[in-house]
Structure 1
Amino acid sequence: MNKLLNLFETKFTLFSLLFLTGMLRFASFYTSPDAKADAEPTYNPFDSISSLIQQFVYLTSLFFLIARGKTSVRVALRDPLVWTLPILTMLSFLWSDFPDISLRKGITTLQTTYFGLYVASRFTIKQQLQMLGWVLGITAVFSFFFTLAFPGVAIEAGANAGSWRGPFTQKNLLARLMVLGAIVFLLLALDRPKSPKLLWGGFGICVLMVILTGSKTALLLLFTIIILLPFYKLLRAKDTIIIPAIVGLIIIGSSVITFVTENWLTILAALGRDATLSGRTTLWEVALEKISERFWLGYGYQSFWLDGGGAMIIWKIEGYKPPHAHNGFINMALDLGVIGLFLFLTILLVNYIRSIIWLRIGKTVTDLWPIFYITFFFMYNHSENTIIEHNSIFWSLLVTVSLSMRRVKLVKRQITAPELLNSQPPINSG
C-alpha cells in the first residue's frame, strides 16, 4: 500500500508541476504571435480543462496536507513570513477596484502556496530537483517539437519575429522555464559525475531553447548562474567577506547589464534629443506615478492591468496593452503597494541568508539549489513579472525552497544534509 501511495504521490507531483508551467494550456494557438497586435483574446477551450486540473491538484494536495497534519504544520512554520504575501493578496479585495477578481485570484495564490508546502513536506531537495528535471526536460523537448510542427503559431511575429515561444503566449515565458531547466540539469549532472550523459543532454536542450527564444535576459541570467557556481561553492569552503562581496558585485553587475541590454534603444533615446522616451522606461515612469497614488496597499491583486483599471493611461501612451510592468518589483507595488514590496524583499533576503547557511551545512551539489533558485528568482524580476502569481510554478517553487530548508544555526563542525535530517545538538532546528 505504501509503495502504491508513494508512486501515486510522485506521479501526482510530476503532473502538478507540469500543469503549473502553463504548457498544458497550449496558449499560443489562441494568442497572436505579435505581442503588440492588440488582438482580442481568443477563447481557449483548454482553459476549461485547466480549471478541472487546477481543482484536482489543489484538492489532492490539501487532502495530503490534512492527512499529515502535524508534519504539515511543522514544515509550514519553518518560514512563517512566506505566508504573509499570499494572505495579503487574498485580503486585497477589500481595497481592490475589482474585488471579485482579486479575491478569486488571491485564493488561488494561497492554493499555489500550499501546494509548495505539500512538495516541501513530502520530498527532499534532491527528490524535488529530480522531479523538476523530468518536468522541465519534458517541457523543453515538447516545446521544441511543438514549434517545428506548428511554426505559424509557435514562432513570434512583429518586433520579435523569429523568436520561439512554443506552446506559450510569449517567448519570455518559455525562456525563463528553460533557464530554470538549465540550472536544474546543471546541478543534477554535477551531482552525478559518473553517469551524467542524459543530464548534460537535458542541460544542452534547455540552453538550445533559450537561444531559440532570442531572449537576451535569459542568456545573461544563464551566463551569470554559470559564473556564480564556483563562487557559491567557495561560500561553503571559506568563511570570508571577500566571496560574498564578489557574489554581490556579480549579481549587481549582471542586473545592470541585463537592464541596459533590454532597454538600450530607450537609453540611447534618453541620451539624445528624444525627450518623450519610449519602451519600458516610459511604462515604468507612468507606473511609478500610479504607485504614488496608492502608495501603501496598491490597487489590489491582479486588478491594475484589467480593462477599466489603472493601466488604461499606460496602454494609451504605449499604444498597445502590456499585461504587466515588465518588472516584478514595480508590479508588486502596483498590486500590493509598498507594504507588499517590502514583505517580498524581506522574504527574499531572509531566505538568501538561510540558503547560505544551508549550503555551508551540506556537502552535496544539490544543496546549491536553494541559493541558485533565489538568485534566479530575484534577477528575473528586473525585466519580467515572476514574483507572486496564481497557478505559477515559480512562486510555488520559492515556497517549496523556503520551507525545505530547516531552521539551522551554523556551527564550527561541518555536517552533511543527511545528518541534518537526524538533527542532533549542537544544531537547533524548528
Structure 2
Amino acid sequence: MNQHLSRNIELGITFCLSAFYLGINLPSPIPSALALVSFLIIPLLIIRQWKEFIYVATRDIPLILAVGAAVISVIWSTNPEETLAHSRALLFSTAFGIYLATRYTPKELMQLMVWLFGIYMLLSLITSLILPSYGTDINTEGLSWQGIAGHKNSLSAAMGMAAMLFLDLALYGYKYRPIFSLGAGISFLLIVLSKGRGGLGVFMALLPLLPLYKLAKQEYRLRTFFGIFAFVIGLVIILSTLVNLEFIIVELLGKDVELTGRIPLWNYLIQRGLEKSWLGYGYGAFWTNPKEVLQVALNVPWMSSIADGVTKAHAHSAYIDLFLQLGWVGVSLVALSFVTILFRVVLLLGLTRQIEYFWMLQLLLFMAMGNIANNSGEFLAYRSLYWVLYVSTACSTAIHLKRILKTGNKLVNLQYENTTYQH
C-alpha cells in the first residue's frame, strides 16, 4: 500500500472516530458496538508510532494525574464494576486525544474539525428538515431541533463550537470567507432552533472575545500582551455574566431564578458529596448506583423520572458531577490541568499569533463555562469529542511550547514532520 493511500485511510478513520466522539443518534446497540470497534482501532493507530505516542503522553503531568485519579478510584468506588468500565472508556478517549496531538499539528487538527463540524451541521440541518421524526423533538418548550445529535442540548453545544470555529475563519482567515460566514450563520440558526439555551448562553458569552485575536496579532512585548489579554478576558467574562445575569437567566435562557429547579438539586448533591469530600464516590459510580439515584428522585421531585433506572441522570453541572466522582482531589487536579493548559495556550498565542491557538483558547473557555449549569464539554468525559480535543490541546501545546523555546523558531509548530516529537 503506497504512503499516500495509507495516509488517506488513516485520516478517514480519524474522522470517523472524531464523529463518534462528537455524538450521533443511532439506535441501540449500534453505539455500544461502535465503542467496541473504537477499542480495537485506537491501539492500531497508536502502534504505528508508539514511541512518539509515549513521549507525547508524558509531556503533561497534571493531565496524567487527573486521568490517573479517575482510574485508581476503582479502589474506593461505591460501584467498582461501573468505575472499571467507565475508566476503560476514559483511557481510550484520552489515548485518542494523545494520538491526535502526536499525528497532527494544531493547524491540521483545526482543518479536520472544520470538515467535521461542517458535515455535522449540514446533516443536522437536512435530517431536521427531511426526517422530522428523527431530527426534531416535541417537549415542554414546543418543537426543538436535535439533528443527528439526538438531544437539543447536544446539538446546541456542537453548533456553538462550530459557530465559533467558522467565525474565526470568516473574520481572520485568508480563504473561503463567504463560505465560513454562511457556516457560522447556519450554525447559529441551529442553536436557536434547538432551543438549547445553555449552548446559546455560552456562545453569546464567547462572542465578545472575538476581537481579542486582533489584539494578539499586534506587536506587544510578551509581558504587556499577557497583562492586557488577562485583563480583557476577565473583564469581558465578568461583564457578560454578572452585569447581565438577570437578562441571561430570565430573558435569554428562559429559566427561573433557580435555573428550572437545579439549585435544589445542586444543594442536595453537594451535601451528598461532602460525605465523601476528599475522594468522592468513584469515577462513574454515583449515578450508576440505584440507591443514590432513588434518593435523588425522592429528594428532588422534578427528577422523579430517573427512579426507573433507565433514564440517564446527571447533576446538570459537570463540576458537581466531578466533585461527586472524585472529590476535592479530583477537582483540584482538573483545575491544575486546566490552568496549566490555559497558560500555555495564551503564551503560544502571544508568541506565534496563529489562529489555531485562539481557537484552542475558545475551546477551553467553552468547556469552562459550559460545565457550570450543563454537561457540555465535560472534563474527564469517557465519550466526548470535547475531552478528546482538550487532551490533544494539552499535549500539543506542551510539545510545541518546548520546541519553540528551545529553537527560538516561533513557526516551528506549523511544519508537519513525521519525527516531530523525537527527543
Distance of 1:250 and 1:396 partners within structure 2: 27
Q: How does 1:357-376 map to 2 (within 5 A)?
A: 357-376=347-366
Q: For residue 385 of structure 2, what is the aligned residue in structure 1?
A: 393
Equivalent in 196, 201, 208 of residue 177 of structure 2: 196
- 1:61: Cα distance to partner? 2.5
**In the TM superposition, what whole-angstrom CA distance separates every residue of 1:267-300 from its partner, at most 9, and x where no partner exists?**
3x7xxxxxxx960110111111011111011111
Equivalent in 218, 221, 225 of residue 199 of structure 2: 218
The code of the aligned residue for 2:232 comes to: I
1:252 corresponds to 2:242 = no
Distance of 1:227 and 1:159 partners within structure 2: 31
Q: For residue 34 of structure 1, what is the aligned residue in structure 2?
A: none
Q: For residue 265 of structure 2, what is the aligned residue in structure 1?
A: 283
Q: For residue 295 of structure 2, what is the aligned residue in structure 1?
A: 313
Distance of 2:175 and 2:360 partners within structure 1: 24
Q: For residue 370 of structure 2, what is the aligned residue in structure 1?
A: 380
**In the TM superposition, what whole-angstrom CA distance separates every residue of 1:84-138 from its partner, at most 9, and x where no partner exists?**
2222222222222221111011111010000001111001111111111111111
Any conservation in 2 of the 1:58–1:115 contact (CA below 8 Å)?
no
Q: How does 1:56-135 map to 2 (within 5 A)?
A: 56-135=37-116
Q: Which moved more, 1:256-265 or 1:192-201?
A: 256-265
Distance of 1:153 and 1:56 partners within structure 2: 25
Q: For residue 292 of structure 1, what is the aligned residue in structure 2?
A: 274
The alignment-based identity, stated in percent, is: 26
Q: For residue 355 of structure 1, what is the aligned residue in structure 2?
A: 345
Any conservation in 2 of the 1:216–1:262 contact (CA below 8 Å)?
no
Any conservation in 2 of the 1:221–1:376 contact (CA below 8 Å)?
yes
Q: For residue 11 of structure 1, what is the aligned residue in structure 2?
A: 12
Aligned residues: 396
Distance of 1:120 and 1:182 partners within structure 2: 23
- 1:329: Cα distance to partner? 0.8
**In the TM superposition, what whole-angstrom CA distance separates every residue of 1:348-374 from its partner, at most 9, and x where no partner exists?**
111100001110121332231221111
Q: For residue 285 of structure 2, what is the aligned residue in structure 1?
A: 303
- 1:306: Cα distance to partner? 2.7
Q: For residue 37 of structure 1, what is the aligned residue in structure 2?
A: none
- Give the TM-score normalised by structure 1: 0.84
Any conservation in 2 of the 1:224–1:251 contact (CA below 8 Å)?
yes
After superposition, the Cα gap between the structure-2 partners of 1:100 and 1:286, relative to the gap in structure 1 and judged at 3 Å, is same
- 1:260: Cα distance to partner? 7.0
The code of the aligned residue for 1:83 comes to: I
Q: For residue 309 of structure 2, what is the aligned residue in structure 1?
A: none
The code of the aligned residue for 1:231 comes to: L
How large is the Cα RMSD of the aligned pairs?
A: 2.7
- 1:220: Cα distance to partner? 2.8
- 1:12: Cα distance to partner? 0.8
Distance of 2:157 and 2:146 partners within structure 1: 11
After superposition, the Cα gap between the structure-2 partners of 1:190 and 1:278, relative to the gap in structure 1 and judged at 3 Å, is closer
After superposition, the Cα gap between the structure-2 partners of 1:260 and 1:133, relative to the gap in structure 1 and judged at 3 Å, is same
Equivalent in 325, 330, 334 of residue 315 of structure 2: 325
Distance of 2:168 and 2:297 partners within structure 1: 41
Distance of 2:335 and 2:246 partners within structure 1: 19
Any conservation in 2 of the 1:155–1:163 contact (CA below 8 Å)?
yes
- 1:346: Cα distance to partner? 1.0
- 1:68: Cα distance to partner? 1.1
Any conservation in 2 of the 1:361–1:417 contact (CA below 8 Å)?
no
Q: List runs of 5+ in structure 2 lacking aligned partners.
A: 307-311
After superposition, the Cα gap between the structure-2 partners of 1:143 and 1:70, relative to the gap in structure 1 and judged at 3 Å, is same
Higher relative contact order (CA 8 A, sep 6+): 2
Distance of 1:133 and 1:278 partners within structure 2: 34
Any conservation in 2 of the 1:266–1:281 contact (CA below 8 Å)?
no
Distance of 2:324 and 2:153 partners within structure 1: 21
After superposition, the Cα gap between the structure-2 partners of 1:366 and 1:53, relative to the gap in structure 1 and judged at 3 Å, is same
- 1:5: Cα distance to partner? 1.4
